[in-house]
Amino acid sequence: MAVGHLRLPPSRTATQTSVASSLSSVELLAVNTQRVGVTVWNDSRTRLYISVDGAAASLTNAFMRLEAGDSVEVPFGFKGQMFGIWPHGASGFARVAEWLP
């Protein structure tokens, strides 16, 4: 079985944003064809559900779940939209770093 390698350009800069927690789905990240990676930190006291399919996040439409204080790196050339929701009345933020070439 052959193993391929994904070669991404190195990141030279990052754009940081803070998205306030919400009981309804909010956009964490817009589509960006120049993106080489993403880091999301759940800076809140409750679980954050994240969708990556371009549709609103919900308990039933979430690709990943971040507990309070957890973070995730999405470095695989993902260029699409991300949405998040805190369904349990959180106060806090999703801290998002978008890594760019």
For the CA atoms of 50, 85, 26, 34, the dihedral, rounded to the nearest 10 degrees, stands at -20
72 phi and psi, to 5 degrees?
A: -140, 145
Query: What are 40-81's pLDDT values in tens digits?
Result: 999 999 999 999 999 999 999 999 999 999 999 986 789 999
Residue 11 has pLDDT above 90, yes or no: no
- Domain residues of the chain, as ranges? 13-100
Q: Can you tell me the distance from the alpha carbon of 54 to that of 3, in angstroms, rounded to the nearest whole number? A: 30
Residue 6 has pLDDT above 70, yes or no: no
Q: What is the pLDDT of residue 47?
A: 94
CATH no. of 13-100: 2.60.120.770
pLDDT in tens, 18-42: 999 999 999 999 999 999 899 999 9
